[in-house]
Structure 1
Amino acid sequence: MNREAGMPLHTRIFIGLAVGLGLGLLCNIVLPGDPRVQWVVANVAYPAGQIFLRSIFMIVIPLIFTAIVLGIADLGDIKKIGRIGLKTLLFTVVITGISVLIGLTLVNTVKPGVGLSEQSRTALIGALSNNEKVSGIVTSAGEAKTPIQTLVEIIPRNPLADAVYAFDPEYRGGGLLSVMFFSVVFGVALAVSDPRRTAPLVQGLQGLYDVIMKIIEFAMNLAPYGVAALIFTTASQLGFEVILVLLKYVLVVIAALAIHQFVTYGLIVRFFARLNPLKFFQSIREVMLTAFSTSSSNATLPTAIRVSSNELKLNRDIANFVLTVGSTANQNGTALYEGITVLFLAQFYGVELTIGQQLTVVLLSILAGVGTAGVPGGSLPLVVLVLQTVGVPAEGIGIILGVDRILDMCRTVVNVTGDITLAACVDASENRASAKDTGVA
C-alpha cells in the first residue's frame, strides 16, 4: 500500500477530527455568534471541507460504473450474479427492518418527545414558520415520488442525464439508482458477450478503475485537513440551546444506532461471516472515521472498497458489487433514524400513532432507506414524506435540523458498516458454496 511512512492515515484523520471538534466547540462556547468565527467558517473552513468532499464526489459516478461492470463481468457466471443480488436484497430488507424496529422500540420506551414545557414547544413551533430551510425541505418532499414511480424510474430513459444530475437535490429522476441499474445491465451484457471481442473493453474499464483508485489515493491525502474543516464548521455553528432541548432525542438516536452497529452487526459478522467482531471493527476503523466526518456513504465508498479488499481480504469483485449497490440501497442507519424521528415528532406534536400507523412508519422507513441518496442531508425530504403520510405536521422537520448534522455523521457510520457487513457475509457464503461444489469441507 502507498501510505506515508510513520503515522497511519486513520490516525491522522482522527487527529484532524479531534482538532476540528475541539476548536469548533471552543469557538461556540467562547465566541458565540462572533463575526470573526463566521468569517473563518465562510471563507476558510467550509471551502476547505468542500474541496475535500468534491475531490471524492467527482469520481463517484465513474467508480460506481466501473466497479459494478467489472465486478459482474469478472464474476462471469450469471447464476452467481443473481445469487449474490438476491442475498444482497434479502439482507437489506431484513436487517433494515430490524434496525427500524430497534429504533421504534427505544423511542416508544424513552418517549423523547414527551415532557417539553408548553412555552418551549410553542417557541419552537413559532420559529418554524419563518424558516426558509424548512420550507425548502417540505417543498422537496412534496415533489417526492411514490414507491411505484421510484420503481419505474430506476430504469433510466437517459443514463447520462441521471449520472450528470445524480447529486442535484432538485433532480427528480432516478439518479444514482438509475446509474446502478444501467451499470448492472451493462455488466450482465458484458459477462455473456464473446470475451474475444470484449477483451479490449474490459481492459479499458480496468485501466479506468486503476486510474480512479489513484485519484482516490490523492484525495485521501487531503482527508485529515478536510475532516478538521468539516467538523469545525459543524461544531462552531451548532447551538447548545437546541442541543439541550433535543438531548433526549439525540441520545435515543445514538443509542439505537450503537445497538445496531455493535450488537446486530457484531452478531451477524460472528455467525454469518465467521469473523471476530473485534477484529472486524478494528479493521474498518478508517472507513468508520471517514463516514463520520463526511456524512456520506457515497464519499466513503472508495475507502470502503479499498479497506474491504486490503484489510478484510474480501473477494474484490464481490466487494465492488455489494458495496457499490449498498452505498445507496442498504441504508440501515438512515432507516432507523427516520423511524425514530417520525415518532419523536409525533410525540412532540401530541399525535398518537396507532400500531397500524407505526407499522406504516416501519415499511416507509425501509423503502426510504433504500431510496435515500448517500449524501449529507439526503434523508430529510423522505422524513417529511413519511411525516405527511402518518399525519404529523411536515414543518416539524425544522425541530431536528439543528442536530441533524451530528446524527447524519453517526447514521452514516452505521450505513457504511452495514454495507461492509453485507459484503463480508456474501463473501463468506460464496466461499462456502464454492467449497461445497468442489467437495472441500
Structure 2
Amino acid sequence: MSEVRNDGMSTSEVRRPSHHPAGMAIGLAVGLVLGLLVNLLSKNRDTFWLAPFFGWLTPGRIEWVTGHVVEPIGKVFLRLILCVVLPLVFSALVLAVVELKDIRKLGALGLRAIGFTLLFSACSVMIGLGLVHVFGPGYAISEQTRAEIQSHYRISERDGRPSSKSLSQVLLDLIPENPLQEAVGALDGSAKGNGMLALMVFALLVGCATVNVGSRTDGFVGVLEGLFAISMKIVDWAMRIAPLGVGCLMFAAMARLGMDLVVPLFGFLAVALAGLAVQTLGVYPAALRLCGIRPGRFFGAIRHVMLTAFGTSSSNATLPTALRAAEEDLGLSPQIARFVLTVGATGNQNGTALYEGVVILFLCQVFGVHLTLLQQASVMVFAILAGVGTAGVPAGSIPMIMAILAGIGVPPEGIGLILGFDRFLDMCRTVVNVTGDLTIAQCLDAWHKKQQTR
C-alpha cells in the first residue's frame, strides 16, 4: 500500500492510467448511436427512413449478431473484472486495516481521523441514496422494458425480496461460520449467511489480528500485497479493452431497449453528479467552518490539486501534489498531512462511497429489486467498507460495486448498463475523494493547533 518517501512521493504505483477517458467516451457514443439505429430499424421497418438501405438486417439477424457476437465481446471485459472481485476485496480490506497500524502513534489525532472518515463516508452515502430515492432515475423505464431486462439477465421476482431472517440473525451472520463457503456463494447468491458482507467483516477481523500479531505476519502481508497487485493488474488489462467492451455492452442494451433506456441513464448521470456536488460544496465547507477555516481560502489553495485529481482519476497519482499543497499552500503540519493524505488515498474515498451507493440503488430500481430499510442499511455499510477498500486508481471501484450487487440479488453483469459513464464519473469522484482527504487534514491540523495553544 502507499507510503511517503523522503522526497514526498508515494511508493504506490503513481502513473497516469493506461486507458484514456476519450476512449471510453467514444465507445459509449458509438455503441449508443449504433444501438439506437439498429433498434429503430428493427422495430420501425415500415416508417424508419433508413430501412430500405438495410433490408438485409432483419430482426432475427440483429438479435443473433447482438446475442452471439457483440454482447459476448462486452462480457469478456466484465468477466475479467468479475474473476478478481473476491481476491481483490479480501486483500484490499485486510491491507487497509494493516495500513492503519501506525494510527496508535498519533493517539487522539488518529482516532479523530477515523471519526472524520466514517462521518464523511456516511454523509456521502446517505446523500447518494437520498437523491436516488427522491428522483428515482431507475423508475423512468417502462414495465415492459424492465421485464425485458429481468428476462435477459434471468432475474426472477423472488430475487431481491426481503430476507425472512430476523435482525438478530442478520447481525449474527455478519460473522461467517465458514468464510470459504461465504466467498464461494458471494457472487451467485448461494451463500449461507451474508455472503459478501460476511466476507468483508472476516477480512476486517483478519486485518485487525494481523496488526496485533506483529512482525510474524510480514510474510502474510507480503502475499496479500502481491495478490492485490495481481488483481489490480488484471483490472488494468480489462480497462485496456474497456472502450471496446463498453461500446459492445451499450450497443447490445440500446439495440434491445432503444430510447426506453436513454432517459434513465442520463437521469443516473445527473443524480450522481448532483450528489458529488452536494458533498463537495455542502458537507466539506460546513466541516471547515465548524473548525474555524474559511472554505474560500481552502478551495483556492487546493484548486490545482483538484484539477490533477480530475485529470488522473487516481488518488494515488494525485498524492504528491496533495502533499505539496497541504504543507506549502495550506501550511499544515507535515506529520498530520502525510499521515492523513497517505492513508486517505485508499482509506477515505467519500466520492467513491457515494457513487457506489447511487449505482447500487439505481440498478435495483432498474431491475425491480425492492430493498427493505434493513437491506438499504446493509447497502450503506457495504458502500462505506467498499470506499475504504477501493484502490485509489482509475476503475478501482468497479470490482467493489459488482461484489455489492451480487450480495443483494442484482446480477453483477448489470453494471454494464452504466459503465459508459463510469470514466467521466471516476474523474469527478476522484476530485471529491482528494478534497475529502485534504478537508480532514485541515480540520485535524486546526484542532491540533488549538490543543497546543491551551
Q: CA deviation at 1:371?
A: 1.4
Partner of residue 334, structure 1 = 352
Once the two structures are superposed, the pairs formed by residues 22-421 of structure 1 within 5 Å of their partners are: 81-118=106-143, 120-121=145-146, 142=187, 145-153=199-207, 155=210, 156-158=217-219, 159-169=221-231, 245-272=264-291, 274-421=292-439
Structure-2 change in CA distance of 1:363 and 1:420 (3 Å): same
Per-residue CA distance 1:206-253 (angstroms, 9 max, x = gap): xxxxxxxxxxxxxxxxxxxxxxxx9xx89x979797865510001101
Structure-2 change in CA distance of 1:360 and 1:28 (3 Å): closer
Structure-2 change in CA distance of 1:268 and 1:122 (3 Å): same
Q: CA deviation at 1:20?
A: 8.4
Partner of residue 91, structure 2 = none
Q: Which amino acid is the alignment partner of residue 328 of structure 2? A: N
Distance 2:418 2:428 in 1: 15
Q: Is the 8 A contact 2:104 2:110 kept in 1?
A: no
Structure-2 change in CA distance of 1:170 and 1:266 (3 Å): closer
Distance 2:201 2:432 in 1: 24
SS in 1 for 2:418: helix
Structure-2 change in CA distance of 1:412 and 1:166 (3 Å): same
Distance 1:249 1:381 in 2: 19
Partner of residue 176, structure 1 = none
Q: CA deviation at 1:141?
A: 7.1
Distance 2:201 2:434 in 1: 24
Distance 1:339 1:332 in 2: 11
Q: Is the 8 A contact 1:243 1:402 kept in 2?
A: no
Distance 2:143 2:132 in 1: 21
Distance 1:92 1:27 in 2: 34
Q: CA deviation at 1:27?
A: 12
Distance 1:166 1:160 in 2: 10
Partner of residue 431, structure 1 = 449
Q: CA deviation at 1:169?
A: 1.9
Partner of residue 16, structure 2 = none
Q: Which amino acid is the alignment partner of residue 262 of structure 1? A: L
Q: CA deviation at 1:352?
A: 1.4
**Length-normalised TM-score, structure 2:** 0.59
Structure-2 change in CA distance of 1:141 and 1:327 (3 Å): farther
Q: Which amino acid is the alignment partner of residue 168 of structure 1? A: I
Per-residue CA distance 1:170-229 (angstroms, 9 max, x = gap): 699xxxxxxxxxxxxxxxxxxxxxxxxxxxxxxxxxxxxxxxxxxxxxxxxxxxxxxxxx
Q: CA deviation at 1:151?
A: 3.5
Distance 2:398 2:438 in 1: 24
Distance 1:106 1:310 in 2: 37
Which deviates the most, 139-148 or 322-331? 139-148
Q: Which amino acid is the alignment partner of residue 99 of structure 1? A: S
SS in 2 for 1:378: coil
Structure-2 change in CA distance of 1:409 and 1:350 (3 Å): same
Q: Is the 8 A contact 1:114 1:347 kept in 2?
A: yes
Distance 2:357 2:224 in 1: 28
SS in 1 for 2:230: coil
The percent of aligned pairs where both chains have the same amino acid is 43
Q: CA deviation at 1:277?
A: 1.0
Q: CA deviation at 1:279?
A: 2.0
Structure-2 change in CA distance of 1:270 and 1:350 (3 Å): same
Structure-2 change in CA distance of 1:414 and 1:27 (3 Å): closer
Q: Is the 8 A contact 1:314 1:424 kept in 2?
A: yes
Q: CA deviation at 1:336?
A: 1.0
Q: CA deviation at 1:289?
A: 1.4
Distance 2:382 2:21 in 1: 36
Distance 1:350 1:127 in 2: 13
Distance 2:295 2:184 in 1: 43
Distance 1:275 1:405 in 2: 33
Q: Which amino acid is the alignment partner of residue 355 of structure 1? A: L
Q: CA deviation at 1:430?
A: 0.5
Q: Which runs of 5+ in 2 are unaligned?
A: 1-19, 35-94, 155-182, 188-194, 211-216, 235-239, 255-260
Q: Is the 8 A contact 1:114 1:348 kept in 2?
A: yes
Number of corresponding residues: 310
Q: Which runs of 5+ in 1 are unaligned?
A: 1-18, 34-63, 73-77, 130-137, 173-229, 437-441
Q: CA deviation at 1:262?
A: 0.8
